[in-house]
Amino acid sequence: MKKLLNAAQIRVADQYTIKNEPIASIDLMERASEAFVKQFQKLVSTDKSVAVVCGPGNNGGDAFAIARLLHGHGYQTMCYESIVDGHSPDCEVNRERYRQNGWLVKLLDKDSPKFEEDVIVDGLFGSGLSRPIKEGVYASLIDLINDSGKEAIAIDIPSGLFSDGPGHEKVVKADHTITFELPKISFLLPETGEYVGEFHVVGIGLDQGFVGAQESNYFLIEQSSIKGLLKKRDKFSHKGTYGRVQIVAGSRGKMGAAYLCGKACLRTGVGLLTMNIPGSGDNIIQTSLPEAMTMSNEGEHCVSKIELLEKTNVFCLGPGLGTDPLTKNAVTQFLHNSPDKPLVLDADALNIIAGDIGLLKLVPRGSILTPHALEFERLFGTNENSLEKFDVMRSFSQKTGVLVVSKGAHSVVSDEDGKIYFNTSGNPGMATAGSGDVLAGMIAGLLAQGMKSRDAAIAGVYLHGVAGDIARKKVGEMSLMASDLLLTISQTITNVHNAEII
């Protein structure tokens, strides 16, 4: 699992690499600049002119080196810098290397005209920024970049943004960010990620042994993270080998949620599925999902009783369940009497618990909650920012042994060890009704097949996102529906298996 490091740790990793590779700091800067340019060439064609905006520190040193390299690759490039008292030593070296070729460096101030070039490379400030940019010449330059209407590509991090979280003022709003070695934590937060655009990680040869030895509570969920979690099936296995899930879902007008959850569970490989649904939904599920068994309720339009099947491995409650008083009572009684089996709690199951928060103490260890933003607030209250939210998740999971999957652009998982995991798959097309129902079913299916809770949550959010990415290629972001994910889960799992073989 790839760790995320804070700004201070990255600086120490730079220093360690410089000392122990060994490599001069100016040569490490050159290596980083070459890596940036290699990625830049994939994004921008040579028929586009480029403005490179250089700051006074090492990010500016990267910028001068990048401008020199872009000239060498055939880009029409112009360097800009602000009026400053001095540069960092490595920035000054690269500034002179650039000027020695006879290329001009234009001065920028708050009254400078808009850029004429097609693309702007932002190299004003990097991850070493120590205070927000509120006013003055640099605030004006950030406005100049943002108001230009031109495509902006940031070096390592958009200028004005902090690596480790909120607290910014003026920030360059980049279309792309080419970042070195590891993404920054702020790239993954909703309140700061909007400034980053699409980020691209390029390696610059930092000592991986040192990076891997650093302490961190933050991790990235990538394909390598779930390698080995999806087991190949044994020739002599049977349906009982792959677990039994009981899904409690659906109400009048919301049987689609139950269907999406159930089919996702089956597509993810569960052996046996029982759907506990209202009486009026029986024909719907029997017709649309014949592979599932059904348990009709006495309640015609809502679930009024939850029967505990003895051999069930995992219970999944919530999709389309509604909050009818009969259903609230059924969920309450279930939590008071539920066996010590993991639960996947989603949607209205969470809303029912939020209405009687003491029920949260009855949720068994190893269970997984999957709230979206509003459901999270109902359960845990509001927070000033994402970092405070992660602290709440971490504390809750450590105390209770119950994991939380906070759904969003980078769905976040907290585990019982106090670790936080950011998902890297998925796309905005998945912001559509039913997408969360699919996720709940997938996690329940993986959990029933014997995965540990943390592994099921991590694999579930990643596979769910990849299914969305495959679906986007087929139907586009705007047209993507939750049912499209059901069609791509199998391809997602096959792709992961094939990557294991390779």
Q: How far is CA 496 from CA 167, 354, 385, 491, in A?
A: 38, 37, 34, 9
The three state secondary structure string of 414-454 is ECCCCCEEEECCCCHHHCCCCHHHHHHHHHHHHHHCCCCHH
Q: Which residues, other chains included, contact 451 with Cβ-Cβ below 8 Å and sequence gap of 6+?
A: 229, 459
Question: Residue 376 has what pLDDT?
Answer: 98
**423/430 Cα distance (integer angstroms):** 14
What is the DSSP secondary-structure string of 308-340? --TT-SEEEE-TT----HHHHHHHHHHHHH--S
Condensed to tens digits (0 to 9), the pLDDT of residues 372-390 reads 999 999 999 999 999 999 9
The pLDDT value recorded for residue 497 is 81
Q: For position 109, what pLDDT does the model report?
A: 81
pLDDT less than 70: residues of the chain: 500-502
Q: What is the distance between the alpha carbons of residues 103 and 121, in angstroms, rounded to a whole number?
A: 17
Q: In this predicted structure, what is the pLDDT of residue 17? A: 98
CB 178 within 8 A of CB 152: no
Tell me the C-alpha distance between 393 and 387, whole Å.
Answer: 10
Tokens standing for 2?
A: 């790839």
What's residue 227's pLDDT? 84
Domains of the chain plus CATH, in order, are: 2-216 (3.40.50.10260), 241-501 (3.40.1190.20)
**DSSP letters along 135-201, please?**
SSHHHHHHHHHHTT-SEEEEESS-TT--TTSS--SS----SEEEEESS--GGGGSHHHHTTT-EEEE
- The model's pTM is 0.96
Among 405, 498, 444, 201, residue whose Cα is nearest residue 315: 444
Structure tokens at 435: 């997408």
Q: What is the pLDDT of residue 466?
A: 97
